[in-house]
Amino acid sequence: MEKLTERFSCQLVIKVDKQCSDKKIEKALASIEQYRGDAPVLIAAQENGSEVYIRSKKYSVRPDFALLNTLKELLGESAAFLRPLTKKESSL
């Protein structure tokens, strides 16, 4: 995965919903701490029927299969994934 993320800029998306407990979110953020890097982290949440993305100013990661698996175990199979950066997002 390291070679893949070096070749293609990506970001980590973490989806949270109303049923997601604070404890699960805290565990997810703690696991992110172990994989500090350059890839941005986006938090996705539902707001008035639309999905809203919030880019974290505090967290950035080194994408890794172990991190993705940990987040999926904590938050659900579709709650963590990598998404390519657009040119606009790359310049932020």
Q: How far apart are the first and last CA of the chain?
A: 24
The model scores a pTM over 0.85: no
Of residues 18 and 34, more confidently modeled: 34
Tokens in use for 91? 């310049």
Phi and psi at residue 46, in whole multiples of 5°? -85, 130
Candidates 72, 91, 58; CA nearest to 28 is 72
How much is the average pLDDT of 14-28? 90
**In terms of C-beta density within 10 A (0-12 exposed, 13-18 middle, 19 or more buried), how is residue 33 classed?**
exposed
For residue 12, what pLDDT band results from cuts at 50, 70 and 90? very high
Q: Collapse the DSSP code of 88 into the 3-class scheme (helix H, G, I; strand E, B; otherwise coil) and give the result.
A: helix
Chain segment 24-77, per-residue pLDDT in tens: 989 999 999 999 999 999 999 988 889 999 999 999 999 899 999 999 999 999
**pLDDT at position 80, please?**
95
